[in-house]
Amino acid sequence: MQSMTGYGIVSHQSKDLILEFEIKSINSKFFDFYFKSNLDSIMLEKEIRNLVKKKMLRGKVEVTCNISKKVQQERKINKKEFINLFNEINSLMGKERISKEAILNNTFLLYDKSQKVSDNKIPKKTIIEITKNAVDKCIKSRFEEGKSIKRDLKKNINEISKSLKMIKKIEKKRVDKKRDKIESQIKKIKSISLDKGRLEQELFYFLDRIDINEEVIRLSKHISLFIETIQEKGALGKKINFISQEIGREINTLGAKCNDFEIQNLTIKMKSNLEKIKEESFNIL
C-alpha cells in the first residue's frame, strides 16, 4: 500500500556545480504537477513531468530543481609570487615600515590564478538520472507512510467487524422477543373478527421492515472484501474508497431499521470507525 504523501531529495556535485532535486507529494484526486527551477529548458521540464507522472501516478507533486555554483574552494597562495612581491614592496618603500595588515589586505594579488571556476553545464542524462533517484526516494517514503495507514485501516475495520458480531448476537435475542410479543398480541385479538390474509400481510410487512439479516450479510461481505483489498498491491485508494461507501450504506440502513438501544450504539461506533477509514483512504494512491 502506498500513500500519496512523500518526500525525496537528491544532491549531485560536478567539478564546479551542485544540482539539488527535491520532490514533495500530497494527496489529490488527480495528478497535479508543479515545477520550480532555475533551468532554462522547457523541454526538460516536460520530460521530468512525464517521468514523475509515470512513476507516481496520482497526487499533488511539487518538484524543485536548482543548479548552483560551488562555494569557491580555499585558494592557495603562490609562494614564489609572494616572495617577489614582498621584496618589491620593501625596495619601493625603502626604510619605511610596512604593516602586516597592509600586506594581508593585498593578498588577493597572490592567489594562484590557475584555479578557475568552470561553468560547464550538467548533462541532461545526469539530470534525468537524478530525477529518477529523487522519485524513487519519494516513493519509498510513500510506502513507509502506507504501512502506517494500513495498520490504522486494519484496526478500524476490525473494530467494525467486532461490532457487527455483537449486533448478530443482540439481533437473535431481539427477533425472539419480537416474535413472542407478536404471538402474544395475536392471542389477545383472536376473539376479534379480522381478515386473516390481511393480518398475515401486515405482519409480513412489519417483520420485513425490522429484519436486518440482509444488511448484516452484505456488511459481512463488504468487510471481508475490504480486508482482502488492503492486502493487494498497486493503486488501491479508489477501490478502498468505494468499498467504504458500500459499508457506510449498510451501516446506515441497519441503524435505520433498528430501534434497539444497544444496536443503535454499536452502529454509531461503526460509523465513527468508518469515518476514520474514509479519512485515511483519501491519502491512499
Query: Cell numbers of 246, please?
Result: 458500500
Looking at the DSSP assignment, which residues form a beta bridge with residue 6? Answer: 25
Rounded CA separation 163/167 (Å): 6
Rounded CA separation 242/246 (Å): 7
pLDDT of residue 15: 78
Sign of the four-CA dihedral 123, 126, 128, 134: negative
Q: Could you identify the residue written with the cell 560547464? A: 120
Q: Does domain 6-72+122-143 have CATH number 3.30.230?
A: yes
pLDDT of residue 155: 97
Sign of the four-CA dihedral 91, 92, 96, 97: negative
- Per domain, the residue ranges of the chain are 6-72+122-143, 79-110, 146-281
Encode the chain (285 residues) as per-residue pLDDT tens digits.
999 999 999 998 887 788 899 999 999 999 999 999 887 777 788 999 999 999 999 999 999 998 888 765 555 666 777 777 777 776 766 655 556 556 555 555 544 444 433 334 778 888 899 999 999 999 999 999 999 999 999 999 999 999 999 999 888 777 667 766 766 766 666 655 656 666 566 666 666 667 788 899 999 999 999 999 999 999 999 999 999 999 999 999 998 888 788 999 999 999 999 999 999 999 999
